[in-house]
Structure 1
Amino acid sequence: MAAHQVRTGVRCALKVIVKERPPTVKKTSLLTSSLSGKTGSSCWRTFCSSSSLRSSDSPLEAGICGSGDVLGHFDRLVQRGSVRRDDQQIYVLQRLAQVQHQLKTYSQKIYLNPPNHSKGVSRQSQGDDVTSSRKEEPVPPLLPPKGLYIYGGVGTGKTMLMDLFYSHVENGRKKRVHFNSFMLDVHKRIHRRKQSLPKRKLGKMFTYDPISPVAMEISKEICLLCFDEFQVTDVADAVILQQLFETLFKTGVVVVATSNRAPEDLYKNGLQRDTFLPFIDMLKEFCHIVCLDSGMDYRSLDQPAAVKLYYLTGTPGAEACIDALFQELALTQKTATGPRVLPVLGRDVTLEKTCGSIADCTFDELCGRPLGASDYLEMAQTFDTVFIRHIPLLMLTLKDQVRRFTTLVDIFYDSKVRVVLLAAAPLDQLFLHSGGEDERDRQLLDDLGLSGEAANRLTLFTAEEEIFAFQRTVSRLKEMQSESYWMQEERRRLVNI
């Protein structure tokens, strides 16, 4: 999709959405700029929308209440034309409705403070006889409600259904979070606990495992944990998950998760995967596994575009249109354009060009540096619109940059951050599945003493995970260019658990 060509006498019309704080009404602005080799004149036409102007077809924008029947609400959305009827989605909603019903009267107190004779919950030991001399002690219920693990292709509605379910759960002890954000918070908690330990004396050695205490912390805060985009690509996370979730499940936390991967394919061909396999068995024990894969990517359906948001490098006038869009959006801010320093985990991340809640960045600035989920979360909490310029063709020799870009898009999408992109190729052609071998991979193979055959079984070297994840990235970027996404008034702020 090429950018508008801007020549002498050609007018560049861009429709942009202005978000003001606090958001009281939705505003749509039409920017008409004359770019004829000199500073263009521009005029704004702003109108306030009434509730009849649907800014989004998402259920979260359709007036969801905090209680009631999730299936009935979905039915009304279908009747209104906000969503399409999909039998597979309805089946998943039926399973979610069962969990919703069970959570109405659910309390996990008995699991957090079990009687002395009870050492936790196991579904295998459900039929065992329980004997105790202390008859007055309450017997815990057989099992906590079983959660749901929903997996399937990109754009099939997994996140939408989970959000619909979450909004109808009446139990207040609940948390909905992106999996990257959750694991980042777990690592923070682990670090905080280690830092609080007394200083070791010279010659004294002791071991301390903070994972179970961290899991207990989380269990005392919530009884329902909803994950979006459950994925495991990091060996450190793979090692932690088994012990972490063993405690979460034993203390009665109900988990509902979405993923593009079936449980058996999580961390597939990853380093030390054998240590991760018990987690998969445990996930199946405490969650119903449901596939949602109708073959339809709803994000790829034609949707009204908010504005020209994806430009091609080298197209005449593309940079000029992006510059004009940034300048007009900057007029709505109360601060001057300049650098911004974001404090992240005790270090500073500097973005060179920002204005209020808008950031104008290059791909190299965001993905060429060693940044991670914590940095992108801070950006998502600081900015509601981010320009990303000079995105190159993403080849296998750029695996690190591809991973960062995928993480960035996941977090921005989850936080409802708006993006404007300038890239080297159309979106569907941006990622090349070939492009040569990374010299660092060859060096690492030598260091590990691995043969080429052994390396072919590890996603670390095959880029299988990057190829798989980028399908989700493309699908999400398509939705992020739609008017419904651009106009969403409620930004989901990521909050640490």
Structure 2
Amino acid sequence: MRDFHVFVRFCSSQRNLPKDARINLLATYCDNVKKGKIQDDPNQLRIAQVLQNLQSELWSYEKRSPTLLTRFFKTEVQVPRGVYIYGAVGRGKTMLMDMFYDCVERPQKKQRQHFHSFMLDVHNRIHEWKKTSNVERKSSSYDPIPAVAAQISEKNTVLCLDEFQVTDIADAMILKRLFDHIFRNGSVLVATSNRPPNDLYKNGLQRSNFLPFIDILKRNCEALALDSGVDYRSQLNANSDTPFYFVKGEGNVSAEMDRLFKIVCSHETDTIRSRTLVIKGRNVEFKKCCGQVLDTTFDELCDRPLGAVDYVFLSQVFHTIFIRDIPQLTVKQKSPARRFITLIDTLYDHRVRVVCSADAPPASLFTTVRDESLVTDENRMLMSDLGIDNPQELGTIFSGEEELFAFDRTVSRLNQMQTRKYWDQTTHEHKA
């Protein structure tokens, strides 16, 4: 640890260097350690050093321009290798990626997105290309992926994607070709994930078609494990003096939720009323709102066809959301469970305050089951569409193991969202 503190002093000494020579990311990280904003963690420092090296490469990469000689001999410019950071929840992956994103001054073309939002944008671009393209469907050149990848690469030399996790077969089937083109176009990926590359889309439908993407990812990104053994979000939760998550049956939960709702609404200049939001041309109604505060239920948010785009819209309209009656979920509620994971991810990313009442503590909200009831008509139709003949495969395909893994992140974020620190740092402006 002595070497770590020597390095902190070294980083601090770099502040007065010329801008081009400043070790931006490492100086920022070490300053935060010195000021007590984050704990000194050798594992995080190791990742920060790799990201600093990438930052330096990007500076030269952006300034490098093709000459007549390189054009004549078609010499390719060496694209910097990206970074894929994986590990358990609450270890600092997102913090390091955001620090890297903020410190990258050149190139200016950069984008930071949650993976779910990124893929939603990709599917929207594909849909738009199909609507506007003049290429006939039967033509061999009818392929939206290269065009969509070109659009993304043109706008982003650096692409930062948080919570890289593949659970949707529609995403899995296009990722290989999409990122093959993105990397060939010269874009650099920095991503965080709870899973190592080899475990992405584990037990997923038609995973054999997804495996080539893993090879492309590992070839273009350095995979780094970050696991200090300390969940810093759980440590933050220990300092919370006000509960914002209530387990039903432990006191008068409904009355306590009502009391907090009145307190929060006392700062609003509106009456308590129902409200209909227009999202992408659709009417989405909620029964109880007051200004920028929404009082709703799990069923209203997750048991009807809402998705990431709807949750992003809600996070822009409301600064506080009360979610009542969260049930204990099993694989039988797989779609609502996936929506709940996406909902919490989105609200967390946008620093929306959340008050919850649930049937169980966060760590016990989702459990897997294996029984014959999983063979529903919907599952049989999906098997037919995908050409799966063996019903025994349902045991792994619909076991809910992928959702359970993703739910670890949800539990960690729910814990952090209860803390006073999380509530106090909510600074985003929300406009209806």
Task: Note whether the superposition's TM-score is higher than 0.5.
Answer: yes
SS in 2 for 1:308: coil
Write the distance in 2 (CA, Å) between the matches of 1:215 and 1:438.
41
Check conservation: 1:306, 1:486, Cα contact below 8 A.
Answer: no
Structure with the higher fraction of residues in helix conformation = 2
Structure 2 counterpart of 1:189? 125
Return 5+ residue gaps in structure 1 as ranges.
1-64, 116-133
Check conservation: 1:108, 1:144, Cα contact below 8 A.
Answer: no
- With over 3 angstroms needed to count, the CA separation of the structure-2 counterparts of 1:437 and 1:364, relative to structure 1, is farther
Write the distance in 2 (CA, Å) between the matches of 1:190 and 1:136.
32
Mapping of 1:362-373 within 5 angstroms?
A: 362-373=297-308
Write the distance in 1 (CA, Å) between the matches of 2:244 and 2:110.
35
Q: Out of 68, 84, 93, which is 1:149 matched to?
A: 84
Aligned AA (1:100): Q
Alpha-carbon offset, residue 136 of structure 1: 6.6
Structure 2 counterpart of 1:248? 182
Structure 1 counterpart of 2:424? 487
- With over 3 angstroms needed to count, the CA separation of the structure-2 counterparts of 1:438 and 1:85, relative to structure 1, is farther
Check conservation: 1:396, 1:438, Cα contact below 8 A.
Answer: no
Aligned AA (1:387): F
Structure 2 counterpart of 1:456? 395
Return 5+ residue gaps in structure 2 as ranges.
1-18
Q: Out of 83, 95, 101, which is 2:38 matched to?
A: 83
SS in 2 for 1:104: helix
Write the distance in 2 (CA, Å) between the matches of 1:379 and 1:395.
26
Aligned AA (1:455): L
Write the distance in 2 (CA, Å) between the matches of 1:287 and 1:359.
41
Q: Highest CA radius of gyration, 1 or 2?
A: 1
Q: Which of the pair has the greater relative contact order for Cα pairs under 8 Å at 6+ separation?
A: 1
Alpha-carbon offset, residue 135 of structure 1: 7.5
Alpha-carbon offset, residue 480 of structure 1: 0.7
Structure 2 counterpart of 1:174? 110
Structure 1 counterpart of 2:279? 344
Write the distance in 1 (CA, Å) between the matches of 2:427 and 2:105.
20
Q: Out of 312, 321, 327, which is 2:247 matched to?
A: 312
Alpha-carbon offset, residue 355 of structure 1: 1.8
Mapping of 1:390-469 within 5 angstroms?
A: 390-434=325-369, 436-439=371-374, 441=376, 444-445=379-380, 448=384, 450-458=389-397, 461-469=398-406
- With over 3 angstroms needed to count, the CA separation of the structure-2 counterparts of 1:431 and 1:143, relative to structure 1, is same
- With over 3 angstroms needed to count, the CA separation of the structure-2 counterparts of 1:206 and 1:436, relative to structure 1, is same
Mapping of 1:280-291 within 5 angstroms?
A: 280-291=214-225
- With over 3 angstroms needed to count, the CA separation of the structure-2 counterparts of 1:198 and 1:344, relative to structure 1, is farther
Structure 2 counterpart of 1:332? 267
Aligned AA (1:71): L
Alpha-carbon offset, residue 437 of structure 1: 4.9
Aligned AA (1:154): V
Structure 2 counterpart of 1:128? none
Write the distance in 2 (CA, Å) between the matches of 1:329 and 1:278.
50
Structure 2 counterpart of 1:126? none
Alpha-carbon offset, residue 69 of structure 1: 2.1
Give the TM-score normalised by structure 2. 0.86
SS in 2 for 1:462: coil
Structure 2 counterpart of 1:214? 148
Write the distance in 1 (CA, Å) between the matches of 2:413 and 2:138.
49
Check conservation: 2:89, 2:408, Cα contact below 8 A.
Answer: yes
SS in 2 for 1:352: strand
Structure 2 counterpart of 1:361? 296
Structure 2 counterpart of 1:231? 165
Alpha-carbon offset, residue 367 of structure 1: 0.9
Structure 1 counterpart of 2:61? 106
- With over 3 angstroms needed to count, the CA separation of the structure-2 counterparts of 1:254 and 1:238, relative to structure 1, is same
Are positions 1:478 and 2:415 aligned together? yes
Identity within the alignment, %: 44
Write the distance in 1 (CA, Å) between the matches of 2:38 and 2:352.
22
Alpha-carbon offset, residue 285 of structure 1: 0.9
Write the distance in 2 (CA, Å) between the matches of 1:222 and 1:400.
32
Alpha-carbon offset, residue 390 of structure 1: 0.6
Alpha-carbon offset, residue 440 of structure 1: 5.0
SS in 1 for 2:61: coil
Structure 1 counterpart of 2:201? 267
Aligned AA (1:372): G
Alpha-carbon offset, residue 173 of structure 1: 0.9
Aligned AA (1:285): R
Write the distance in 1 (CA, Å) between the matches of 2:380 and 2:283.
34
Alpha-carbon offset, residue 428 of structure 1: 2.4
The Cα RMSD (Å) is 2.7
Alpha-carbon offset, residue 393 of structure 1: 1.4
- With over 3 angstroms needed to count, the CA separation of the structure-2 counterparts of 1:99 and 1:337, relative to structure 1, is same
SS in 1 for 2:276: strand
Aligned AA (1:104): W
- With over 3 angstroms needed to count, the CA separation of the structure-2 counterparts of 1:195 and 1:334, relative to structure 1, is farther
Alpha-carbon offset, residue 68 of structure 1: 5.0
Write the distance in 2 (CA, Å) between the matches of 1:377 and 1:181.
9
Structure 2 counterpart of 1:49? none
SS in 2 for 1:432: coil
Alpha-carbon offset, residue 492 of structure 1: 9.6
Write the distance in 2 (CA, Å) between the matches of 1:243 and 1:209.
11
Residues 267-298 of structure 1, C-alpha deviations (whole Å, 9 max, x = no match): 11211212211111111111111111222211
Residues 307-347 of structure 1, C-alpha deviations (whole Å, 9 max, x = no match): 32011223443212211221222222233322232333332
Structure 2 counterpart of 1:11? none
Write the distance in 2 (CA, Å) between the matches of 1:490 and 1:484.
12
Check conservation: 1:352, 1:361, Cα contact below 8 A.
Answer: yes
Alpha-carbon offset, residue 451 of structure 1: 3.5
SS in 2 for 1:137: helix
